């Protein structure tokens, strides 16, 4: 680790702190709230380089920060926006982006509408997965919340209809209907994976991904729509929910070898379904989530031949955490990703199983520090372009098992 | 010490940790602009979780909270079903996704009374023995 990088990481972390950027001010009698956050992580693995970081040598390339401002223009109309910046190994590269920005009009408790760039509500924590201070974990369960593709999936440019309906003795139901366009994160993991990896026949049978600079892929996006329904049940502390999402993603660019010709990957079918549960009992929190995403895509090869690819991925996690003191929370989760469900689940080239234990220390109300150990079985290198394992940062191949220490300090105000 | 004894002690310690001490008594207060004389427990939860921004006969409402303390802990546990840390996370999730603001938090019962008294539509909670001058006490049904 070069000292300059340490200084850069320290400076990046310190800058928002120096701004002391939670302050409220009034404009025409209305309060404007300004909030900020930053986090800096360190990851060290025994083998493999994970999430494009050089984790096998120890990496500080796990940094993010942002700030937002929002206000209620009237009792029913809110506006706000957040700027966000991140660096994750070879991704992000500190290019600032507009994370969310929208207007939100709530007609009544059971009907509101928001439009702009809106964080997508899908599953238990999708819209808050990147707010490390809200979660016990240094890294969220990567099967459901992959950090490397955050920029592609965290928000949609479009709108939501939302509301909450209380039903006597049955608790309350909150719904969100959403639709719009997926934003393109040119520095995200999906494009990095497509750009740097090639799908080739495996001498042992089937296919595998290897490093290959044969294309320049620059765009990912397309329509997305879906719904989320969460039920705050009459059982104290129990929340149940389900989400459904349809995407029609197109990825474009061009092949550079053996000939220069357009590259186009289109979605024939991509429907994701989530079921989730959360149970709170005092300081104990249990959460679990299951996600199914069968997908059919069509790709033009350099020769012009169209080929179809099928993937039926399943993912999920169960987690348990307990806050022993105001300053200490301990937790564990088992996160599972199977790239292609009909194929052998036990093959480490088809799955990623991650058993994690975490200690979270809340230094004060605004600063937390986490220590986390991951025991990862499998790399699913056979069939995915993301989910943390890439060919390019692992030129000597991937070991089927690894463990990794992650330390992360976060600040928010 | 046998495994069974160690296990039993661990279970007892865990159970003790889960046992929450009896909370402080409190009452719910509102700005005089809030027309209602009573509020249901579900409505109260909705107001403090900000899924309910208006009440019948009351118009726009907004919560006022205390920053910690036994009254706050009792209220949050009994009516919101959360711990203080869980509630803070909930508000932050609204603020950092743009779906809401962090509500007003004040230091003491007296501050709750004065803030509620001067904020149209405000609803807060104070200790049962605290004088509620300038605000109205809502019956929780």
Domain boundaries, chain A: 3-30+41-412
Nearest CA in chain A to B59: A75
Can you tell me the distance from the alpha carbon of A23 to that of A53, in angstroms, rounded to the nearest whole number? Answer: 35
**pLDDT at position B130 over 70:** yes
Confidence of residue B6 (pLDDT cuts 50, 70, 90): low
**pLDDT at position B17 over 80:** no
Q: What is the DSSP letter of A96?
A: -
Place of tokens 């009351």: B58
Strands B62-66, B104-106: pairing kind: parallel
User: Residue range A51-62: average pLDDT?
Assistant: 97
CB-based contact A98:A73 (threshold 8 Å): no
Tell me the average pLDDT of chain A: 90
- Decide if A109 and B51 are in contact by the 8 Å CB cutoff: yes
State how far the alpha carbon of A387 is from the alpha carbons of A95, A141, A190, B113, in Å.
21, 11, 9, 52
Token representation of residue A126 = 């999708």
- Topology given in CATH for the domain delimited by A3-30+41-412: Porin (2.40.160)
Min distance A101 CA to chain B CA atoms (Å): 8
pLDDT in tens, A320-347: 999 999 999 999 999 999 998 998 888 8
Neighbours of A303 (CB within 10 A): 11
CB-based contact A355:A373 (threshold 8 Å): no
Residue B40 touches chain A, beta carbons under 8 Å:
no
Count of CB pairs separated by less than 8 Å, A with B: 89
Can you tell me the distance from the alpha carbon of A218 to that of B27, in angstroms, rounded to the nearest whole number? Answer: 59
Contact residues on chain A for B53, CB-CB shorter than 8 A? 75-76, 106, 109
pLDDT in tens, A203-234: 766 666 677 778 888 899 999 999 999 999 99
**pLDDT at position A412 over 90:** yes
CB-based contact A142:A354 (threshold 8 Å): yes
Residue B21 touches chain A, beta carbons under 8 Å:
no
- Decide if A100 and B51 are in contact by the 8 Å CB cutoff: no
CB-based contact A220:A152 (threshold 8 Å): yes
Residue B42 touches chain A, beta carbons under 8 Å:
yes
**pLDDT at position A119 over 60:** yes
pLDDT at B14: 45
Mutate to test the interface with B, among A155, A160, A166, A168 (most CBs of B within 10 A): A166
Question: A311's torsion region: left (phi>0), alpha (psi -120 to 50) or beta?
Answer: beta
Q: Is CATH 3.20.20.70 the classification given to domain B23-140? A: no
pLDDT in tens, B37-71: 899 998 999 999 999 998 887 788 999 999 989 99
- Decide if B54 and A78 are in contact by the 8 Å CB cutoff: no
Most confident stretch, A147-156, A172-181, B73-82, B127-136: A172-181
Give this complex's ipTM.
Answer: 0.85
- Decide if A280 and B86 are in contact by the 8 Å CB cutoff: yes
Q: Give residue B118's Cα distance to chain centre.
A: 19
- Decide if A134 and B82 are in contact by the 8 Å CB cutoff: no
Residue B92 touches chain A, beta carbons under 8 Å:
yes
Task: Closest CB to A80: pick one of B53, B60, B98.
Answer: B98
Pick A272 or A2 by higher pLDDT.
A272
User: Residue range B6-16: average pLDDT?
Assistant: 50
Token representation of residue A149 = 């593709």
Min distance A66 CA to chain B CA atoms (Å): 10
Confidence of residue A45 (pLDDT cuts 50, 70, 90): very high
* Triad A34, A39, A40: Cα angle to 5°: 155
pLDDT at B23: 54
Domain boundaries, chain B: 23-140
pLDDT in tens, A151-206: 889 999 999 999 999 998 899 999 999 999 999 999 999 999 888 877 666 676 66
pLDDT at B31: 95
Q: Which of B78, B38, B72, B42 is nearest to B58 (CA)?
A: B38
pLDDT at B18: 42
Instruction: Give the 3-state secondary structure of residue B118.
Output: helix
Task: Closest CB to B97: pick one of A119, A133, A280.
Answer: A119
Confidence of residue A304 (pLDDT cuts 50, 70, 90): confident
Min distance A71 CA to chain B CA atoms (Å): 8
Contact residues on chain A for B89, CB-CB shorter than 8 A? 134
CB-based contact A310:A329 (threshold 8 Å): no
Lowest mean pLDDT among A309-318, A381-390, B103-112: A381-390
**pLDDT at position A262 over 50:** yes
Spatial neighbors of A206 by CB under 8 A, at least 6 apart, are A382
Min distance A406 CA to chain B CA atoms (Å): 22
pLDDT in tens, A353-394: 999 999 999 999 899 999 999 999 998 876 656 689 988 898
Nearest CA in chain A to B53: A109
Residue B98 touches chain A, beta carbons under 8 Å:
yes
Can you tell me the distance from the alpha carbon of A127 to that of A154, in angstroms, rounded to the nearest whole number? Answer: 6
Q: Which of A181, A219, A214, A175 is nearest to A197 (CA)?
A: A214
pLDDT at A397: 83
* Triad A107, A108, A112: Cα angle to 5°: 55
Task: Closest CB to B92: pick one of A119, A168, A412.
Answer: A412
pLDDT at A18: 45
Q: Give residue A323's Cα distance to chain centre.
A: 25
């Amino acid at each position: 680790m070069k000292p300059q990088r340490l200084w850069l990481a320290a400076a990046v972390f310190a800058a928002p702190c120096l701004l002391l950027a939670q302050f409220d001010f009034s404009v025409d009698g209305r309060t404007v709230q300004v909030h900020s956050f930053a986090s800096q992580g360190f990851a060290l693995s025994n083998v493999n380089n994970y999430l494009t970081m050089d984790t096998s040598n120890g990496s500080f390339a796990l940094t993010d920060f942002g700030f937002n401002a929002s206000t209620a223009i009237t009792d029913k109309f809110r506006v706000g926006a957040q700027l966000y910046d991140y660096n994750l190994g070879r991704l992000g590269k500190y290019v600032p982006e507009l994370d969310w920005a929208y207007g939100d009009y709530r007609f009544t408790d059971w009907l509101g509408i928001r439009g702009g760039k809106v964080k997508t509500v899908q599953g238990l924590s999708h819209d808050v997965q990147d707010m490390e201070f809200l979660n016990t974990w240094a890294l969220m369960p990567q099967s459901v919340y992959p950090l490397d593709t955050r920029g592609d999936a965290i928000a949609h440019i479009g709108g939501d209809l939302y509301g909450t309906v209380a039903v006597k003795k049955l608790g309350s139901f909150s719904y969100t209907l959403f639709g719009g366009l997926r934003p393109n994160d040119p520095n995200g993991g999906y494009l990095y994976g497509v750009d740097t990896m090639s799908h080739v026949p495996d001498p042992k049978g089937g296919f595998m991904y290897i490093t290959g600079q044969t294309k320049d892929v620059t765009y990912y996006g397309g329509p997305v729509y879906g719904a989320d329904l969460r039920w705050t049940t009459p059982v104290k502390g129990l929340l149940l929910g389900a989400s459904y999402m349809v995407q029609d993603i197109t990825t474009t660019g061009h092949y550079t070898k053996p000939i220069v010709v357009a590259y186009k990957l289109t979605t024939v079918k991509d429907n994701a379904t989530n079921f989730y549960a959360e149970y709170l009992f005092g300081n104990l929190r249990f959460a679990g989530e299951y996600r199914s995403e069968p997908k059919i895509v069509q790709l033009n090869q350099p020769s012009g031949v169209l080929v179809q690819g099928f993937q039926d991925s399943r993912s999920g996690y169960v987690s348990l955490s307990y806050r022993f003191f105001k300053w200490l929370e301990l937790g564990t989760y088992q996160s599972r990703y199977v790239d292609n469900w009909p194929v052998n689940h036990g093959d480490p080239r088809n799955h990623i199983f991650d058993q994690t234990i975490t200690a979270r220390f809340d230094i004060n109300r605004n600063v937390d520090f986490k220590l986390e150990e991951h025991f990862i079985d499998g790399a699913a290198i056979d069939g995915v372009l993301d989910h943390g394992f890439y060919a390019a940062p692992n030129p000597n191949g991937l070991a089927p098992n690894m463990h990794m220490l992650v330390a992360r300090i976060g600040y928010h105000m | 010490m046998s495994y069974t004894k160690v296990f039993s002690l661990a279970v007892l310690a865990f159970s003790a940790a889960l046992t929450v001490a009896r909370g402080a008594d409190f009452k719910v207060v509102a700005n005089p602009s809030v027309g209602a004389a009573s509020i249901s427990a579900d409505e109260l939860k909705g107001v403090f979780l900000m899924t309910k921004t208006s009440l019948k006969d009351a118009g726009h409402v907004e919560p006022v909270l205390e920053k910690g303390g036994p009254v706050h802990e009792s209220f949050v546990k009994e009516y919101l079903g959360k711990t203080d840390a869980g509630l803070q996370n909930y508000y932050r999730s609204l603020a950092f996704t743009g779906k809401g603001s962090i509500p007003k938090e004040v230091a003491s019962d007296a501050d709750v009374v004065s803030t509620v008294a001067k904020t149209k539509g405000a609803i807060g909670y104070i200790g049962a023995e605290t004088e509620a001058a300038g605000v109205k006490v809502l019956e929780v049904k």
